[in-house]
Amino acid sequence: MPIRVTVSSEFSHDKLNERVRAIYPDGMHAVMADGIREFAGDAVAVRTATLDEPEHGLTEQVLAETDVLTWWGHRAHGEVQDAIVDRVHQRVLEGMGLIVLHSGHYSKIFRKLMGTGCGLRCREAAEREILWVIDPSHPITDGLDANFQLPHTEMYGEQFQVPPPDELVFISWFEGGEVFRSGCTWRRGKGKVFYFRPGHETFPIYHDKNVRRVLANAVKWAAPASSAPYLSGAPNIKNPIMPVATKHEVDESIHR
Amino acid sequence: MPIRVTVSSEFSHDKLNERVRAIYPDGMHAVMADGIREFAGDAVAVRTATLDEPEHGLTEQVLAETDVLTWWGHRAHGEVQDAIVDRVHQRVLEGMGLIVLHSGHYSKIFRKLMGTGCGLRCREAAEREILWVIDPSHPITDGLDANFQLPHTEMYGEQFQVPPPDELVFISWFEGGEVFRSGCTWRRGKGKVFYFRPGHETFPIYHDKNVRRVLANAVKWAAPASSAPYLSGAPNIKNPIMPVATKHEVDESIHR
Amino acid sequence: MPIRVTVSSEFSHDKLNERVRAIYPDGMHAVMADGIREFAGDAVAVRTATLDEPEHGLTEQVLAETDVLTWWGHRAHGEVQDAIVDRVHQRVLEGMGLIVLHSGHYSKIFRKLMGTGCGLRCREAAEREILWVIDPSHPITDGLDANFQLPHTEMYGEQFQVPPPDELVFISWFEGGEVFRSGCTWRRGKGKVFYFRPGHETFPIYHDKNVRRVLANAVKWAAPASSAPYLSGAPNIKNPIMPVATKHEVDESIHR
Amino acid sequence: MPIRVTVSSEFSHDKLNERVRAIYPDGMHAVMADGIREFAGDAVAVRTATLDEPEHGLTEQVLAETDVLTWWGHRAHGEVQDAIVDRVHQRVLEGMGLIVLHSGHYSKIFRKLMGTGCGLRCREAAEREILWVIDPSHPITDGLDANFQLPHTEMYGEQFQVPPPDELVFISWFEGGEVFRSGCTWRRGKGKVFYFRPGHETFPIYHDKNVRRVLANAVKWAAPASSAPYLSGAPNIKNPIMPVATKHEVDESIHR
């Protein structure tokens, strides 16, 4: 069975702005979806969801049928409904993979999962970026060389205000003197989260073959990989596995 | 200058319930504060804060004058005001240490910092707990032996629904067959967070000398230790450190 | 193409001792290999290697054709040739997966990869072990329940003298009061390493279905997953990617 | 009591080469020791040790009286005696801090502690380096700004062939296009290890105030901080803490 991928994007700059529309005539999500299909082939079944659809296209049913969700947002983070954010959050804890892209660092869902501010330094000067592979064992790096370059990007610089990542996959070099942890993974509940830096809307980033390859690899990596049960809530376990020898009188009435 | 510690506790079971009052006549916070003073001595200046004080005793000024905050709550998590939670959260990101105790695993502030559900298995059967030191290099373990025991505790069992900790300091063994990561650290922004499991209100846990020692050690470990600047927000850095050679025309009008 | 697995075992207790022979008439390696085949099926092609074969069955060619190596040893750690250990070490750095089992914690190869003493507490009292799943997102846990039990095992207790693992998959509970990090992963170069605790020769551990399932899952997890280049040595990179603007006269003659 | 620091350096380039001698007339170790004293003051008592002293100046007694050892080596890694390396290794496991500097990445002791090849890319082109503070909570960053610069350095570029660090403190940017994890920590047994990249002998790196500050901070961070016992070897624990209910006949004669 293929990995069921939902590519979510706010579809805003790419609708309103002529210049962005020239790069992404059908929206950024269409190009991302193509990129994933190009490099993951039959391993995936990809659909898209945009902000202006009912429930942002992320209904209970869509999420129930999604193994991996990708998230791109920028100017409209504030328009994403809190109830949908909570729904996505719950699904991640239960095992859905989540790929957060570029300016998605400031999305409600990413901040909620990280527990931090998720800030960074930025600059739009169309500068060169070189992404170095830090962890060549990681499936997300499959097919890449020791580094790859993007000729013109928006700069993101440290400090990236996230918790220390579980795995550090890429570090970026920028022409103006900054560095950035551009590929990071974290586990949250049963779900795997990958943040990938490239993706500014005014540059044709999602047409780049290395970026597309990383998207496809990330989707495969983030797909649920274990059927082991996820513990939800704080269940009261009446029956211990082993007999509890030392009994102590507890006044149950005092609690809660 | 001593480390300024604020011991925060909901002061609820220990006010309402005769049995808990017998163990903690002046409230649990009073005993925790004593424990920290006993083992940290002149290194600390300790005050307390309880739920029913204005702003839960955690005013802007109190937090500004707090290096490390400890948090105990249980039945009244829902009564903690969201604005106060946000205030504490911001202070942690800026560098205040936070020690979360026992049932505080379900507090709003801990869940907000972790980004996960923070559930676990539990059972009240007054069973024996053995806490093993996993990381004997960690300052939080100073003065301890290879393990220490609590004769009667509430059981907390895995899965503990938190992100993988940055450091694992203790693992607990329980009579009924469960295990638990009882001492865990995470970094969030400039702030250090330590979760410590023991502490159920119906047992005299905070009178135990090893527990008190851990509290004191944790306070010393969590105190701010660097003056390096914390990046807040996502500042636009107009001037690169190095000249950006490759210029690309960017239409600034399209953004935001 | 199937994952090429080599099951390596010293084949010593299971040859010399009647009691162990009763449990493993064809050697422990035969039962481990069967277990991997049972749960990994066509995904693997398994062969075995034992200490008394020439080069311990781990020739250059065998290792070149091995994606994942499993290692069991106990009484004969000292008989393993250093040259073979170096060969296995190099292959791990280049990407071969390594599964180290039970008393293999004291093998030369594991100590060389860890950089620590790899000691632990132990006791043979045929006591009960309960293994708890700590990371239910991990592929190594696929098919398991929240925990599984072994009725009679040798106890291993903390401190386990290894570097903090990259991922903590299982924690064990023992009847006598100890706990142990029973499933741990580390990355070394391009290679993935998994340590799995169960496996004492005097108990039928490798006949247990959960143990066999973990072996099969671990092999699949540890198989090479990226073609990205591994940097070997410390190459002198004459040509920078970007022109180096600030030249400084360097007297090359002084070096080395 | 002050932290007892031993600054170890091979004292080779700085003895043989005129140019290096011009920068470090009394040897690099003398300048490092001064730097540590400058920023750590009364908190430290510093001595030095060089390769040509008996036992490289690292006798049993010197190590027994050393809380933190710093290590610089380059051309003479091969001349360091294995017995001394083993002695230092053992002391680290028991709790001595170790600061490894620059070309020390290829020292025997660092490779033994890491378990990996410890390679990297390098280039001598006197290029600019910018070190970014990644973890502003870390005591090693105390007194630093968001970044600091070195005008002329040897470049070290990724992949740095070390295990994923426990904490990532600095990332470097280089003029020629590379990046490097320039400040990394690992725990090994009870000992804390810090690798710090800057330090090439042909540049006056150890005269730089930020570098000196980092050395002093690192020494304070790496000093032993807990008296909790370190488990050595694999002791057989005859007496469990809890009675072992389920007895199983074990033939002790079969083992070892």
Contact A246 B175 (CB under 8 A): yes
The amino acid present at D191, given as its one-letter code, is G
Chain B residues within 8 angstroms (CB to CB) of chain D: 95, 128, 130, 133, 135-147, 149, 166-167, 175, 187, 189-192, 224-231, 241-242
Q: Encoding tokens for residue B85?
A: 């939670």
Residue with tokens 């193409």: C1
Cβ-based neighbours of C40, under 8 Å, separated by 6 or more: C3, C216, C219, C220
What span, in angstroms and rounded, lies between the C-alpha atoms of B94 and D101? Answer: 31
Q: Comparing C-alpha atoms, which of A129, A83, A146 is closest to residue A109?
A: A83
Contact D146 B231 (CB under 8 A): yes
Chain B residues within 8 angstroms (CB to CB) of chain C: 130, 132-136, 146, 157-159, 164, 167-168, 171-174, 177-179, 181
What is the side-by-side order of every strand in the sheet holding D44-50?
D44-50, D3-9, D68-72, D97-101, D191-196, D179-188, D167-174, D121-133, D147-157
Q: What are phi and psi of D163, to 5 degrees?
A: -60, 155
Contact A179 D132 (CB under 8 A): yes
Contact A135, D122 (CB under 8 A): no
The amino acid present at B196, given as its one-letter code, is F
In the predicted structure, residue C187 carries a pLDDT above the cut 90 = yes
Contact A136 C187 (CB under 8 A): no
In the predicted structure, residue B212 carries a pLDDT above the cut 80 = yes
Give the per-residue pLDDT at B97: 98
For chain B, the chains sharing at least 3 beta-carbon pairs closer than 8 angstroms are A, C, D
For chain C, the chains sharing at least 3 beta-carbon pairs closer than 8 angstroms are A, B, D
Chain C residues within 8 angstroms (CB to CB) of chain A: 95, 128, 130, 133, 135-147, 149, 166-167, 175, 187, 189-192, 224-231, 241-242
Give the per-residue pLDDT at D245: 72
Give the per-residue pLDDT at A246: 58
What is the side-by-side order of every strand in the sheet holding B191-196?
B44-50, B3-9, B68-72, B97-101, B191-196, B179-188, B167-174, B121-133, B147-157
Q: Comparing C-alpha atoms, which of D53, D104, D99 is closest to residue D77?
A: D104
Calculate what percentage of chain C has a pLDDT beyond 90.
92
User: How far, in whole angstroms, is CA C100 from its chain's centroid?
Assistant: 3
Contact C179 B171 (CB under 8 A): yes
Contact A255 B124 (CB under 8 A): yes
Q: Encoding tokens for residue D114?
A: 């890491």
User: How far from each other are the two terminal CA atoms of chain D, in whole angstroms?
Assistant: 46
Q: Which residue among D143, D175, D191 sits closest to B137, beta carbon to beta carbon? A: D191
Q: How far apart, in Å, are the Cα atoms of A27 and each of A109, A137, A217, B28?
A: 21, 33, 22, 58
Nearest chain A residue to B253 by CA: give it.
A17
User: What does the pLDDT average to over C137-146?
Assistant: 98
pLDDT level of residue C14 (50, 70, 90 thresholds) = confident
What span, in angstroms and rounded, lies between the C-alpha atoms of B6 and A240? Answer: 37
Mean of the per-residue pLDDT values for chain C? Answer: 94
Mean of the per-residue pLDDT values for chain B? Answer: 94
Residue with tokens 């020692």: B213
Q: Which residues pair with A170 in a beta bridge?
A: A133, A183
Give the per-residue pLDDT at C247: 53
Nearest chain C residue to B149 by CA: give it.
C177
Contact C245 D175 (CB under 8 A): yes
Cβ-based neighbours of D250, under 8 Å, separated by 6 or more: C124, C125, C126, C202
What span, in angstroms and rounded, lies between the C-alpha atoms of C103 and C125? Answer: 16
Contact A137 C192 (CB under 8 A): yes
Classified as helix, coil or strand, A198 is: coil
Our CA angle for B215, B193, D210, nearest 5°, is 110
Q: Comparing C-alpha atoms, which of A114, A121, A61 is closest to residue A91?
A: A61
The amino acid present at C135, given as its one-letter code, is D
Give the per-residue pLDDT at D63: 98
The tens digit of pLDDT for each residue in A182-218 reads 999 999 999 999 999 999 899 999 999 999 999 999 9
CA D13 to chain B, closest CA, distance in angstroms equals 32
Residues of chain D with pLDDT under 50: 250-256
Residues of chain A with pLDDT under 70: 246-256
Contact D144, B228 (CB under 8 A): yes
Q: Encoding tokens for residue A12?
A: 């805003």
